[in-house]
Amino acid sequence: MFKRQWKMAKELLIPESRIVPHHIQGRTLTSLSKLYTFGTVSSGGAGYNLSGATYLTPQLIDSGTDIASMSSYGSSFKIASTGVLKATGINAAYQLGLEDTTQRNDWTTVNGTWKKIVVGASSSTGTTYKSIGLKIDGTLWIVGNVSNGMLGDGSTGTLTTFTQIGVDTDWVDVAIGSYHVIALKANGDVYTWGTGYACGRGSGAASQLLGLAISGCKAIGASAQSSFAIKTTGELYSAGIALETGFNVQKTSFTLLDNNSWKSVSGVINSGGGVGYVFALRADGSGYCWGQNGGYELGLGDTTTRTTPTAFAVGSTWKKIILLFINGASHGTGIGLKLDGTLWGWGVASLTGTNQSSGSVTTPAQIGSFNDWQDIWGNGQLTFAIR
């Protein structure tokens, strides 16, 4: 059995140290996940000392790993089911939480026990990066550049170590845009802070102090310059700049966008200071999208910008959609996980995992033939997926 594993690993360029024995601390190999990556790998962003390549199809990089959550945007994080956090990639703004600016090329342990990490930046400049983390104990923390007020207390500058946001211990989710943060509490209250209309607090001026924006919610999301909240009763609300809100007009406070039953919403986190694009999923798994579309990133078969929610891949049912963006470009990529366990890509061809090196994938195309994908994460030009 071990020989068969090693043969498979050699073919996929996995070093011998990555082959996982059948039993690790009482867990069997079947309880672990197989980790894949595709897209452009640079500056240590995929770990395992991989760099300087574009993978056109999913590449197996760990044959047995415990992953509960991941995030990536040049700087990458993975969290085990135990809450152990590891980081790799670029680190010019201390965003890996390792108290230095040294790039990491392999996964390095970060102190604390964590539930979720999100990475963002206000431009392609490495010194604008920041990472926000939700710990298992319900506290929120941030490290890196907070020049847009992302610490929530009005201060700016660069944090060299993870610093707690406020004192509350009842946070359950967090999302980040180019210039703002949105977070959800256990009681359904949604708070925002940072800069701009995306804070949804009645003014276009800077809202650098953490404050209540909307209540009675079960889910949140963010795009480059807008915020989203889903009520416990399913309605979708948005606030922010015109094209990203789904209204085609600016909204300075959270406003009802659609009264159907929704389960999730997410937008491209950084669009190089420009306008982004958004995907949202209804409770039945149907997908809707809106925003910029210069490079088929909406997967609708054309490059026409959509100003209001538009049905996407009609007849498909989705578990999750993530969005990638190339800084300074007017186009991006979408990666979708269907409820049937298949994986799909559209947009910039070389980042879709569909084995195409140039051009665009104009509508969703299946990535390989596996139908047992469990989850996906990514941003920038890199996607992680587990089976």
Span 4-11, mean pLDDT? 35
| Confidence bin at 274 (pLDDT 50/70/90) | low
CATH number at residue 147: 2.130.10.30
Tokens of 333: 């990529």
Span 272-286, mean pLDDT? 86
What are the residues facing 158 on neighbouring strands? 145
| Confidence bin at 265 (pLDDT 50/70/90) | very high
Judge whether 358 and 294 are in contact, CB under 8 Å. no
pLDDT given for residue 296 in this prediction: 94
What are the two backbone dihedrals, phi and then psi, of residue 31, each rounded to the nearest 5 degrees? -85, -10
Span 80-105, mean pLDDT? 96
Look at residue 199 and give its three-state secondary structure: helix
pLDDT given for residue 128 in this prediction: 87
Span 22-48, mean pLDDT? 72
pLDDT given for residue 12 in this prediction: 40
Span 250-273, mean pLDDT? 88
pLDDT given for residue 59 in this prediction: 97
User: Within 13 Å of residue 76, how many CA atoms lie on the same side as its CB?
Assistant: 29
Alpha carbon of residue 372 to chain centroid = 21
pLDDT given for residue 387 in this prediction: 97
Span 121-141, mean pLDDT? 88
Asked if the model's pLDDT at residue 23 lies above 80, the reply is no
Asked if the model's pLDDT at residue 3 lies above 60, the reply is no
Asked if the model's pLDDT at residue 8 lies above 70, the reply is no
pLDDT given for residue 124 in this prediction: 65
Asked if the model's pLDDT at residue 24 lies above 60, the reply is no
Tokens of 168: 């509350």
Tokens of 201: 């607090």
d(CA 44, CA 53): 11
Judge whether 352 and 369 are in contact, CB under 8 Å. no
Higher pLDDT, 100 or 295: 100
Asked if the model's pLDDT at residue 205 lies above 80, the reply is no
pLDDT in tens, 47-90: 999 988 899 999 999 999 999 999 988 899 999 999 999 999 99
d(CA 138, CA 12): 39
| Confidence bin at 25 (pLDDT 50/70/90) | very low
Query: Which residue, among 162, 229, 244, has the nearest Cα to 192 in the 3D structure?
Result: 229
Domain extent, residue 328, equals 2-386
What are the two backbone dihedrals, phi and then psi, of residue 158, each rounded to the nearest 5 degrees? -130, 130
pLDDT given for residue 21 in this prediction: 31
Placement of tokens 């033939």 in the chain: 369
Pairing label, strands 343-348, 217-222: unpaired
d(CA 361, CA 358): 9
pLDDT in tens, 339-362: 999 999 999 999 999 999 999 999
Q: Percent of the chain beyond pLDDT 70?
A: 87
Query: How far from 325 is each of 112, 152, 246, 367, 383, CA to CA, in Å?
Result: 30, 26, 19, 19, 11
d(CA 208, CA 157): 13
Please state the pTM of the whole predicted model.
Answer: 0.90
pLDDT given for residue 249 in this prediction: 95
Span 19-29, mean pLDDT? 31
Judge whether 343 and 368 are in contact, CB under 8 Å. yes
pLDDT given for residue 68 in this prediction: 95
| Confidence bin at 197 (pLDDT 50/70/90) | confident
Span 151-171, mean pLDDT? 95
Placement of tokens 């186009």 in the chain: 331
pLDDT in tens, 284-336: 999 999 998 988 999 999 999 999 999 999 999 999 999 987 655 557 899 99
The average confidence (pLDDT) of the chain is 88
| Of the listed ranges 26-35, 78-87, 170-179, 207-216, the one predicted with least confidence | 26-35
Q: Percent of the chain beyond pLDDT 90?
A: 75
Span 146-175, mean pLDDT? 94
Alpha carbon of residue 317 to chain centroid = 20
- Residue type, position 111, single letter: N
Judge whether 101 and 93 are in contact, CB under 8 Å. yes
Type and span of the H or E element at 172: strand 171-176
d(CA 237, CA 241): 13
Q: How many domains does the chain have?
A: 1
DSSP letter string, 125-173: SGGG-EEEEEETTS-EEEEEE-TTSTTSBS--SEEEEEEE-SS---EEE
Cα angle 266, 332, 78 (rounded to 5 degrees) comes to 55
Higher pLDDT, 186 or 325: 186
